[in-house]
Amino acid sequence: MPRVRASEGTLTTAGAATDFSKQAEIEKIAQQVGNAPATLRLLEIVRSQPQPLRLYHASSSEIFGNACEVPQPENTPLHPTSPYGCAKAFATQLAQVYRQSYGLFVCNGILYNHESPRRGENFVTRKIARAAARIARNLETELVLGNIESQRDWGRAQDYVQAMWLMLQHHTADDYVVATGESHSVREFVEAAFAVVGLPWQKYVKHDSAFDRPTEPAQLVGCADKIRKILGWKPRGTFRELVREMVETELDAIDSDRSDE
């Protein structure tokens, strides 16, 4: 069931896609069993309130899956390629139906991958940043990954949370793609992470097909023109700055633990 946060007449559902491993896929499927029905229940709760609430629904770029266009705006046809994407597509359409049929103030934030040092360790970006730091500090010797040619549109989580907030402040509810509009591969993330610690990534990175996704989505790159124009939102920082922040946070954590010993 999605986590729910409530504050000053607003509700937010949260969810995100995890790493490309089979274990992560199993965990996602288990989570999604109740995801869409939980969203339906939440929408019904909002509809039953005597005073109108504003609801933010965390949609995902995974709803586009094998997208028929690049980049993807809000009206790109839905073609999910994973259980996660299917569940998110259904929940996204539920939110639209309740907005159109019952007049609820509900926004779909179609967020592309958003990262920060707080990412869980089962996410590929955190896995890479953590491994680079630990290898640099002689705590690990290798990093095992799936398909490093997979590409994603990665942005900073801080910027995307601001986008969520802006959606709920606007006078009308709508759906918005939130993305940087840039595509980077897992290989590029690895290269940037190991560059922070000054190590040759090829020496430490190994491939294991167990971490490959059964079906890889097409090139998912978001077109955020709508939210830029209507809400004045734009991403801050660069891809390499994001990677550096994540790796340096891992290094600081390791060094802090050692100083406390």
What string of pLDDT tens digits covers the 261 residues of the chain? 444 444 445 444 444 444 445 566 566 566 665 677 889 999 999 999 999 999 999 999 999 999 999 999 999 999 998 888 888 999 999 999 999 999 999 999 999 999 999 999 989 999 999 999 999 999 999 999 999 999 999 999 999 999 999 999 999 999 999 999 999 999 999 999 999 999 999 999 999 988 887 766 668 999 999 999 999 999 998 999 999 999 999 999 999 987 776
In sequence order, the β-bridge partners of residue 59 are: 110
pLDDT at position 33 is: 54
| Residue 248 DSSP code | H
* Contact (Cβ atoms closer than 8 angstroms) between residue 129 and residue 75: no
Helix residue ranges per DSSP H, the chain: 22-32, 35-47, 83-102, 124-136, 157-169, 186-196, 225-231, 239-260
Q: Helices 239-260 and 186-196, interaxial angle, to 10°?
A: 50
pLDDT at position 32 is: 62
* Contact (Cβ atoms closer than 8 angstroms) between residue 134 and residue 254: yes
Nearest to 239 by CA among 159, 140, 139, 127: 159
Q: 36: Cβ–Cβ under 8 A, 6 or more apart, which residues?
A: 87, 90, 91, 94
Record the pTM: 0.85
pLDDT at position 27 is: 65
pLDDT at position 17 is: 45
Q: Which long-range contacts (CB under 8 A, 24 or more apart) does 39-45 make?
A: 39/2, 39/13, 39/91, 39/94, 39/95, 40/94, 42/2, 42/4, 42/11, 42/13, 43/94, 43/95, 43/98, 43/104, 43/106
Active site residues: 60, 62, 84
What is d(CA 196, CA 161) in angstroms, rounded to the nearest whole number? 26
Which amino acid is it at 195?
A
Nearest to 87 by CA among 131, 133, 31, 132: 31
Query: Tokens 């995902």 appear where?
Result: 60
What is d(CA 125, CA 29) in angstroms, rounded to the nearest whole number? 20
